[in-house]
Copies of this chain bind each other. A is one copy, B any other.
Amino acid sequence: MTDVVIAGIGQTPVGEHWDVSLRDLAERAMLAAIADAGGLRPDALYVGNFLSPVVSHQANLGALLVDHAGLNGIEAFTVEAAGASGAGALHMGYLAVASGYVDAALVIGVEKYTDQTGSELETAIAQSMDNDYEAVHGLTPTGQAALLMQRYLHDCDVPRQALGAFALIAHANGAGNPNAMYRKAIRPETYARAGLVSDPLNLFDVAPYADGAAAALLTRPELLPEAARARLVRVSGSSVAIDRLALHDRPDPLAFEAAGVSLQRACRQAGILPGDVDFFELCDAYSIYAALSLEAAGFARRGEGWRLAERGELNLDGRLPISTLGGLKARGNPLGAAGLYQAVEAVQQLRGEAGANQLAHPRRALVQSLGGPAATAVTHVLERLN
């Protein structure tokens, strides 16, 4: 397989874009990524989106966005895997370029959550779970995360406030990201006083759903002028794994098996060990997800992922920074677009363009996105080419 690099990135601020349509939001990120790649024209567009058919009454987004961006003639599809949709689009773009089938693939994650309001939204998001056995009985992703957290606190004898360390990290980092939804650090007392959303999850254990679009342009390095190569980031690992969808089917609900499998595979493909990376953009849709992701990746023993956070090892100046531009928690969770925000932010770090949150000379990132309760797990290893 040939080398695949990210030559351009683009993103809109994450938040509530009441005055922007899905197609306009997407276009901003797409055109920004193309411009950032020096105007390189893509041969294909893969669109990561989760909610549009239900929330915006619009399917066939490949055709819609190619048309809207004036790229007619190229190929396009929607890739859907709930919250991992954006990461899935990145994976598909990677395959298309790696196969030699296309020279340049534009991948975009877009979510226009605010095209609806009210209870239909939580119903729509619950489609990421097993509808017939879970959602139809009233369970939501947030309710499910609460069950997982309860089990974690009980089984692993973890103090209730321990997971708050993840929210503190995310909000501290969000403060330095101009595209983040929440740009204010919070204090431990703020976390401790926060109202419950679904016992034991409080407001700061739950990432806010939001609108947003992020895009990346993938190509082969030899197709770019020499001058452009200094900023390139290589996709050196790209792997997807599936776990049982319904939580009740899993032998151990606290083991995010697919997360572990896809991460191991991506690292093997990149020829590295997980510990060889400089930072980890993980899925902190819920604080409990962050803890379980660290444990599935082998960075912490079972029941101890939160200790890394508490000891400061996951801060920007720590051993393994996470959520370096705010994560889903503070940057916001634009669902089907989240995976591409994570990848775009990793590229910002690797290029040295992360502003106030810049890590010291990072060479290599792990980026992981989860769809459903870690039923779909997508992991990428991204590396500076030079």
Contacts and interface: CB of A to CB of B under 8 A. Distances in A.
Given A60-B372, A95-B101, 20 more contacts: A53-B54, A57-B123, A59-B127, A59-B128, A60-B81, A60-B245, A60-B371, A63-B243, A67-B242, A72-B257, A73-B241, A73-B242, A74-B242, A75-B242, A78-B78, A78-B80, A78-B81, A79-B79, A95-B99, A99-B99
B63 A375 contact: yes
Interface stretch (A129-137, A157-165, A171-179, A203-211): A129-137
A116 B95 CA distance: 35
Interface size class of A (residues with CB under 8 A): 35 or more
A78 B79 contact: yes
B56 A131 contact: yes
A60 B95 contact: no
Nearest to A129: B60
A189 interface: no
Interface of A: 1, 21, 23, 44-45, 50, 53-54, 56-64, 66-67, 71-82, 88, 91-92, 95-96, 98-101, 123-124, 127-132, 135-136, 239-246, 249, 257-258, 261-262, 371-372, 375-376
A376 B62 contact: yes
A376 B99 contact: no
Could you say which of A96, A127, A240, A371 has the most chain B C-beta atoms within 10 Å of its C-beta? A127
Contacts of A371: 60, 63
A153 to B, nearest CB: 26
Contacts of A74: 241-242
B98 A101 contact: yes
29 contacts: A1-B100, A44-B240, A53-B54, A53-B124, A53-B127, A57-B123, A57-B127, A58-B130, A58-B132, A60-B82, A60-B127, A60-B129, A63-B81, A64-B245, A66-B242, A67-B245, A67-B375, A72-B243, A73-B261, A75-B239, A75-B262, A76-B242, A77-B81, A77-B240, A78-B78, A78-B79, A92-B92, A95-B95, A98-B99
Nearest to A49: B80
A55 to B, nearest CB: 10
A73 to B, nearest CB: 6
Copies of this chain present in the complex amount to 2
Contacts of A129: 60
Q: Chain A's interface: helix, strand, loop or mixed, by majority?
A: mixed
Could you say which of A92, A99, A240, A241 has the most chain B C-beta atoms within 10 Å of its C-beta? A99
A172 to B, nearest CB: 32
B81 A76 contact: yes
A258 B60 CA distance: 14
Contact of A58 (B44, B76, B88, B127): B127
Contacts of A124: 53
A76 B124 CA distance: 21
Contacts of A45: 242
A59 to B, nearest CB: 4
A79 B132 CA distance: 22
Contacts of A77: 79-81, 88, 91-92, 240, 376
